[in-house]
Structures are given as C-alpha cells and as structure tokens.
Amino acid sequence: MNVKEIFDSMDYGPAPESAAEALAWLVDQGSRFGQFIDGAFTAPGNGFDSHNPATGEVLATVSQATQADVDAAVAAARKAQPAWARLGGPGRARHLYAIARLLQKHARLLAVLETLDNGKPIRESRDIDVPLAQRHFYYHAGMAQLMEEALPGRAALGVCGQIIPWNFPLLMLAWKIAPALAMGHTVVLKPAEYTSLTALLFADLCRQAGLPKGVVNIVTGDGAVGEMIVGAEIDKIAFTGSTEVGRRIRAATAGTGKALTLELGGKSPYIVFDDADLDSAIEGLVDAIWFNQGQVCCAGSRLLVQEGIAETFYSRLRARMDKLRVGDPLDKCIDIGAVVDPVQLQAIGAMVAENSAGETYRAEVGLPETGCFYPPTLITGMAPSDRLMQEEILGPVLVSCTFRTPAEAVQLANNSRYGLAATVWTENVNLALDIAPKLAAGVVWVNATNLFDAAAGFGGVRESGFGREGGWEGLAAYTQPVTKTRPLPPIAPLTGSGGPADPLDRTAKLYIGGKQARPDGGYSRPVWGKSGALLGQVGLGNRKDIRNAVEAAQAAAGWAKTTGHLRAQILYYIAENLSARAAEFARRLDAMQGGRQGDKEVAAAIQRLFTYAAWADKYDGQVKGVPLRGVALAMKEPVGVIGALCPDEAPLLGLVSVIAPAIAMGNRVVAVASEPFPLAATDFYQVLDTSDLPGGVVNILTGSHAELAPVLAAHLDVDAVWSFSSTDLSAEIEGASAGNLKRTWVNYRRARDWAVNDSGEWLAQATETKTIWVPYGE
C-alpha cells in the first residue's frame, strides 16, 4: 500500500515494535530460570514453558518451586528483615528510588517482555503498566522517607507472602512489593504461572539496584506454590486473584494471626445516563471492557443504559466495536491483543456458548489465524439474574440491560455479590455525586474509567475482598502499632449460692430493634456477684436472636445516611444520660466484679462517648494528589452491620468502646455483651432508650460467646465481626467469615488496655475508604 492509498482509505498500517532486545535478554539468561532466593538465581529445575499467547511460541522455561525452595525463600526473607527494618525509612527510600530509576531505564524492555508474555497490546504495556509500576516505587520511596515522621509508633509486620495474577504481572508486583519494602518488610512473591518473566527481570533489576540479599525473593510455579506460601511461617499474605481462591486463603489463614489483604474479582457496573456525552461514554467503555482484552478485575463488564437512549447507544457502540483492531500485540496500532492462555480462551468461549439469554453481537473484525484471540462481544437484553450478569468472565465480553430511573440504576448496580469498581457517566455533576456514594464499590469513576495512581487507594468491598492498595490507607495493612500485649486468660461467669440482692425479680431481656425482647429459646441464666449474691437473670440468645438482631440492623440502614453532626449530638446525649446515672452503674460494676473501681470505669466510658461524639463529624476523607486534571476523593464510609463480641473484663467500658466508634461512623451494631458480667450492658440499653438513638442501630444480646460467635461470623448480612472475648474464638470467626469475605478484627486472646484509647485504629476499623475519581476540564 502506497502513501496515496493510505490517505484514501485512512486504514492503519502496521507499526511493529521490535522484540529483539527482549528475546536477547531471555537468551542471555539461557531461556531457563530458577528461583530468585537470597539475592541470587538458583539453578533451573523441573518446570513449564512460558508461551507467547499471540503466537504460541515458547519464550522460556520457568522452574516449578518446591517446598524446599519456598522454605529457603522464607528463611532468607526472615533473616534479612531485621536489618532491612533497622535501615530506617530514609535508607529504604534510597533503594526504592534506585529500583524506580532502573524501571525507567529499562522501560521499553519491560514493556515488550510484558506484551510477549501476557498478550496485551504494546501501547498498554508501554503507556500504562510500566509507568504506573515506576510511579508506585517513586511514591512509596517517599512514603519510606516520611514513615518515621508521619507514622510514629508504627512498625512493619515482618515477612510478607505475596501472590499476584496474570492480567497485570509487573504492575501487580509493584503494587505489592513497593509498599511492603517501604514500611520495612521483606517479601516472598509468587507471580502467576502464565506470566512470570517480568517478575524475573525485576529480580535481576533488584540485584542491579544493590538491594540487600533476601529482601526480595521470587518463587515461580502453579497454585501449589501459592498454597506453600500461605502455609509458610510468615506474617502477612497479600493476594490478588479470584474470589474463589481468596475465600480458600481466608479459611486457610484463620486463627494463624497472619495479616491478610485480598483484592479479588468483580463484575463492575458501567452506568450511562440519558444526559451523557454518548460518544465519550462509548470511548470510555472501550477502555472499560476491551482494555487488556477484558482481563481486568475492575472491568466495566456490566453495562447499564438508561432506557430512553438504549437503542441509540447500542447502535453507536456496535459501530465502534466494528472499528476495533484485533491482532499482533506488538503492533502499536492494535486495540485488542491476545487472551493470556488457551485455557482462559476456552473458559471465555464456554461461558458465552452456555448463555441462552439476550442478543449476542460479535464485532465484525478479523482475527489472526493463530494465537489466543477472541472478538469483542456485546450481549444486550439481559436480566439482572442471568449468569453472565453475575459472574466474572475476564474476557472481552460486555453484557447489558437497561434502567429507567437513577434509583433503579443504583439497585441494578448493587445487585451483585462483588463490589470492586463502578463507572458513572453523566453531564450532571450533581447526579454523579449523588449516585457515587450509593454504589457498593471501593472505587467509582465519574466520566472516566480505569484511572489508577499510587496515591489513590484501590480495593473492594463484599466478595471483591478487603484492604486497600495505594495511598495512606494502603499502608494500614503493612504496619502495626509498636505495643506489647499479654495473654488474655478466659474469664468465666461467677457462681454463688446466696439469695437475691434485690427482692424484685430482674430478668434482663435482649435489646433488638430498639425494644426489649425475650430470648427466642426461652432460657436464662443467673448472674452472681463477687460476694455470691444473686444479682439477676439474663436471657440466653441463640441463632434466631442473632437473625432478628441483624434484620433490625439492616432495617436501620438510614443511620448511615445521617450527618456526622446528628450522630455526634446523639452520642453526646448518650454520654449525658449515662453521666446522670453514673453512681448506679458504678454500684452495678462493683457488685458484679468486686472492688471499688466501678466509678473509674463509668467515667472512662463517659469520656469515650464524648470522644467519639467529637470524631463523628471530623473523621473525614482526603483529596488525593493524582497526576491528572481532576481529583481523587478518598471518602470515609461506614462498613455496614458490625457484629461485636464485647470484652469480658471491661463490661461497660468495653461495650462503649465497641459501640461508640461504630455508630459514630454510621454503622449499625449487633453487640454480644460481656459473658461473665452482662448486667452492665442490659442496664446500658435503658440509657439508649432515652437518648433518641433510632431503633436497630444498636442491638444488644446476652449469652454464650462460643455459641453466638460462629453464627455472627457466618451471617451473610453481617459486614464485619469484631471479637475481644476472653474465649478463644479468633480462628472460628475468621474461618466462618470466608462465606462472604467479611472483614474481621479479632484479638487472638491477647489482652487490651481498655483505659487507653487509640481513636485512629477504631475509626479505621469502622470505615471503608471509597475512592471517587472526578476528572474536570473541557
């Protein structure tokens, strides 16, 4: 084709990127790789071939790590960690800056190798993946520099095991390794079996950067290697991958004390309102679903279009699909490259073939004769319950249905077990900022999609996992308070044989939905005082009572929409009413526990209520400094329904310490009172009754922690479980929480000084961070 013909047809000619240097690097390594352990590559062992998915050609042979390899990597990381932490933030920052500069110097080599190994278009590897990886190391080098000043009293957890997926091999590596190293951890990282080559190149760059031996260790292999890392003696697991595997990791780590961050799957809604700039929305949709062949956990794979513009939008979208270019990923003119592996290609095809709903349109584009290519596909007329509207496909397949009103759009968007990301497209900024907070998603893009930056936290809710990566909030999972704790011995209810302390019968009921309720089982137990006197009876809650309390909490969802100012006033009112009855509560505490410390506990509880009343309208988000014309708003949102097992040893102060921060941030609570000393809690709900707190915001049960904890943890409408019980329940709670991957905060039978309050820790546990991206300008 000559120049005149090109101008006549306006067809794109080929613009191939040379793979020569990347292939030469592989040859220089012998095209065979061992493990990277303690600063050196081991001899290659038995393994598997890494293929170019666009051609099927073998790029290199990668070794399958053995248990001995994983043990050696963990041992090297453990040995190196104390010295790496002692190096200090500024010392670690210099190493991270060195890595960032090497990523820049070798940017083209990394981009080409990523495209060869993964199949994504070179322009995406070159312009998105590699620059973002550099940005994460630069950003977290700054975090390391500032750590001692900005995060006083915080320290590294120790050794991190990190497992990353195949869709963004280098970028996910940077997301994991950069913050871990910045905060003083050492790491053992496993790249995906399909895409290990850029991780191995990164290992080579670590050597060039002079990184101390053992700080970064990379082991390769299939899922069995990931299981070895999860089971190893390490302090934290950071996993990005499927929800199914994330659930298994949650169950496997239950009770081990390992910190856990899970960034899992998604089925993200892409909402187009009738006032949207349709051409821009379509271009955004191209990036949302056909970026990286749709192999993106936050891909806008669920299109929701307002009914009045649906046919026009679909018509324009089909025309745009027909112009997408599918082919050799090393061609800079290509829009869609190759699916990562024949196994994934087959899975995509099978899911679409099994679908019998809607109308399927495949773009009229040519596909290469060889390689793992799948055409851009649109399926319209879907029902919200159809499998493809609910299940992650991880391929270039877009499914769609329509809506009529903004309220229906929110309802459809939230009709998913996932909650990773969402996109809102409208020219009405008021509508956009009204809809964004209502969406169950960790990230919301307004008139844009797939915007990422190291300064802005990324992560999901629901079955899209928990924890954030990036920004200040991303560091929360990579640090811990520098405090010493002691074991918490079990505290059993007291026994006695004396007569009742009060001749009037006092059988305290449960408190559900703002009302006193008899326990479903009809059973109660005596509460004896330290002197042996019978202080009263309390109901024994059961599974049905938990269900009733959770239903009441769900019905009180409007509490999350109230203002911080209103919540503060109610908390102040609770504190005032408790203060008016301080002497009564102090006597009750002394009677239950013995001694004369009740007045101090009541005073501390009142002070705590005032503290969280003060925080209710002051614990707010941030505007992130991201490199674009726009802002990324980090908004603090309530977690939802929190089930809490209150501390046994501090019956009133512990109860207040749990309830106050939770409701200050807009959560609803199902609290199980101190098991040995429950009467402080049953007296406290009388204070709630007189303090204008809406029914269902706080629900208080009494009974056996051991019996009620697994029910709370397994309940699918509970969003988080906290446990400070003296009964050893941490493993059971974490294991049961895997059902819907709810957040957990458990004590592992370690004592807490309830007289000391760390507001930052409590408020962070009581909130989720939602990142809302709002670009601006013409």
DSSP string, 349-373: HHHHHH--SSEEEE------SSSS-
Helices (H), 718-758: 730-736
The residue ranges of DSSP E strands in 197-247, in sequence order, are 216-218, 236-240
Largest CA distance in the chain: 106
First to last CA, the chain: 38
Let me know: does 744 contact 257? Beta carbons within 8 Å.
Answer: no
Report how far residue 354's alpha carbon sits from residue 336's, in angstroms, rounded to the nearest whole number.
24
Give Cα 10 distance to the centre of its chain: 45
**How is the beta sheet containing 36-37 ordered, strand by strand?**
40-41, 36-37, 216-218, 186-190, 159-163, 236-240, 259-263, 465-466
The two structure tokens encoding residue 515? 């009302």
- State the burial class of residue 755 (Cβ atoms within 10 Å of its Cβ: 0-12, 13-18, 19+): exposed
| Residues pairing with 769 in the sheet | 636
The residue ranges of DSSP E strands in 625-755, in sequence order, are 630-638, 641-645, 668-672, 698-701, 720-723, 743-746
Q: What backbone phi and psi angles, to 5 degrees, belong to 467?
A: 95, 160
Give how far Cα 628 sits from Cα of 458, 509, 632, 648, Å.
17, 57, 9, 51
Give how far Cα 256 sits from Cα of 230, 235, 477, Å.
10, 9, 16
- State the burial class of residue 109 (Cβ atoms within 10 Å of its Cβ: 0-12, 13-18, 19+): middle
Let me know: does 604 contact 596? Beta carbons within 8 Å.
Answer: no
Let me know: does 481 contact 758? Beta carbons within 8 Å.
Answer: yes
The residue annotated as part of the active site, out of 17, 114, 206, 297, is: 297
Is 160 one of the annotated active-site residues of the chain?
A: no
| Residues pairing with 240 in the sheet | 263
SS3 for 438-490, per residue?
HCCCCEEEECCCCCCCCCCCECCCHHHEECCECHHHHHHHHCEECCCCCECCC
CA dihedral 256, 257, 258, 262 (to 10 degrees): 100
Report how far residue 160's alpha carbon sits from residue 176's, in angstroms, rounded to the nearest whole number.
9
Q: State the amino acid at position 602 in one-letter form.
A: V
The closest alpha carbon to 93, from 81, 84, 105, belongs to 84
Q: What backbone phi and psi angles, to 5 degrees, belong to 182?
A: -60, -40
Let me know: does 347 contact 194? Beta carbons within 8 Å.
Answer: no
Report how far residue 173's alpha carbon sits from residue 140's, in angstroms, rounded to the nearest whole number.
13
DSSP string, 599-653: HHHHHHHHHHHHHHHHHTTT---EEE--SSSEEEEEEEEE--EEEEE--SS-TTH
Let me know: does 705 contact 625? Beta carbons within 8 Å.
Answer: no
Strands 40-41 and 36-37: what pairing?
antiparallel
H or E stretch covering 515:
strand 515-517
The residue annotated as part of the active site, out of 17, 263, 469, 734, is: 263
Instruction: Tell me how crowded residue 739 is: count the other CB atoms within 10 A of its CB.
Output: 16
Is 206 one of the annotated active-site residues of the chain?
A: no
Give how far Cα 283 sits from Cα of 242, 339, 374, 545, Å.
28, 21, 20, 51
DSSP string, 581-603: THHHHHHHHHHHH-SS-HHHHHH
- Residues noted as catalytic: 263, 297
